[in-house]
Amino acid sequence: MTQLTPQLRYLPSAQQQALWLENVSIQQLASQVATPFYCYSKAALLSNIHACKAAFEPENIHIHYAMKANSNLSLLRIIAEQGLGVDIVSIGEMRRALSAGFKAQDIVFSGVGKTTAELAEAVLAGVGQFNLESKEELAVLITIADKYQQLVSALIRVNPEVTVDTHKNITTGAKGNKFGVNFSDVLPMLETAEHSPFLKIKGLAMHIGSQIHTTQPYLDAIAKIQRLINELKIQGYLLTQLDLGGGFGIQYKDYQQLTRNTEQQEQQEQQEQQEQHYLAFSDFSNAIKSALAHWQGRISIEPGRSLMADIGVMVCEITYIKESRPTSFVVLNAAMNDLMRPALYQATHALIPVQSPSSSLQTKYDVVGPICESTDTFSKSASLPTDLAAGDLMCFLYTGAYCAVMSNSYNSRPIAAEVLVDDAQAHVIRQAITQDDLMAFEQPSALKLF
């Protein structure tokens, strides 16, 4: 048996080893669900949640799942059942959260462009915390709270202007980012809020980016925020809540890392931990605890990717092995509309065959999809088994977060199904959305606008 990610492993089959997720054969799933499709492990999700809770709850750090990572209702219900709160960035996500069983008071509403209608609906629903992104948003929220005479709790999201070693498209706390407010704007916002009997600003929030593999940026940001809190205390404003966001990085291993023998894997993992390429939840918890040793108020975090990424795979099929110079192509039936991260962030997801290769020989391939865009490329010069052939089933790994939620129908392609595996059972938790489904919304309507 070769273990690849939590709950995903190669097991012996009739002729060669094949992939199983928990106790379900990927090959059997693909015989019943059209590829490409996403597939998630319930056991892996629960394991990640339990590890997160074990690290943060003893320190009285509240956990709100960042729903933008994956908003499938079935997965949300599992998370809600485990007692986590939820962080949302749209009114659609709020409706999903309430439908999945989260309590309104356990919802944090983040996002830089909340509309008046969204804020009003969230206030009336009783959302527990609003993370304010601007003085303009504060003015709108005060008007709504006063109009409906509803008590509203808010935090001001600040931009701590710290440098984070991650892709430029997923930094959120650097100078020039659209998120948060400058430190100099906080006092005027507190003064404005004093005039409302219904809106209370209770603290500060931050989120410095995603895929962060060191605690230092958090420590730098927290230190800056603590200095600001002390300055505001002198001005007579006692803040009692800190929302430190999420962004905890995970390790996206490649094919060669995954297929090393057990001894090589252990040596590689030890080296990576020594080089701090991967941090556990406890590393972040310990860093927060040390940085806020004298803090008496409430602390919350918002993990997303770190709970979701490694629970999922995307199953697809090779359409062609296209011979070419200097590099041949593996052409898949999955495309950038199904898996957007490589085109959007130049991210690389490990691609492995569902049937383990009969030989250890490898060849360099460019892995691409069928969409009429050069950016429909999953990886360049990827080392893959030499004996791949058209019709082979393949799996992209670490696709539980920021993958299915970004899927779309570009080139009039269907939107992939999602499947949840629970031990030996599998359930379709989102049916594929076909072009027939989408065209039904484009039929001539009897509703005349003018």
User: For 42-58, what is each residue's pLDDT tens digit?
Assistant: 999 999 999 999 999 99
- pLDDT value, residue 218: 85
pLDDT grade for 165, boundaries at 50, 70 and 90: very low
Active-site annotation holder among 39, 52, 372, 403: 372
Total domain count, the chain: 2
Q: Would you say the pTM of this structure is higher than 0.75?
A: yes
**Both structure tokens of 399:** 């696709």
Average pLDDT over residues 292-320: 96
Average pLDDT over residues 382-389: 94
Average pLDDT over residues 316-330: 96
Is residue 239 included in any domain, yes or no? yes
Is pLDDT above 50 for 274? no
- pLDDT value, residue 14: 65
State the residue range of the domain holding 240: 110-303
First to last CA, the chain: 65
**Catalytic status, residue 395:** no
184 & 286 share domain: yes
215 & 298 share domain: yes
Query: For residues 276 and 214, is the Cβ–Cβ distance under 8 A?
Result: yes
| Diameter of the chain measured on Cα atoms | 74
DSSP for 160-181?
-----SS-GGGB-SSTT-SSSB
122 & 20 share domain: no
190 & 289 share domain: yes
430 & 357 share domain: yes
Is residue 45 included in any domain, yes or no? no
122 & 207 share domain: yes
- pLDDT value, residue 250: 84
Answer with the one of 281, 303, 325 that is the final residue of a domain. 303
Q: Looking at residue 199, which CATH number applies to its domain?
A: 3.20.20.10
Is residue 8 included in any domain, yes or no? yes
- pLDDT value, residue 253: 75
Query: For residues 19 and 3, is the Cβ–Cβ distance under 8 A?
Result: no
Is residue 68 included in any domain, yes or no? no
188 & 238 share domain: yes
Is residue 325 included in any domain, yes or no? yes
236 & 197 share domain: yes
- pLDDT value, residue 214: 85
Residue entry with tokens 């989120």: 207
200 & 335 share domain: no
- pLDDT value, residue 3: 85
- pLDDT value, residue 140: 98
pLDDT above 90 coverage of the chain, percent: 77
Query: Could you give the CA distance from residue 265 to residue 251 in angstroms, rounded to a whole number?
Result: 14
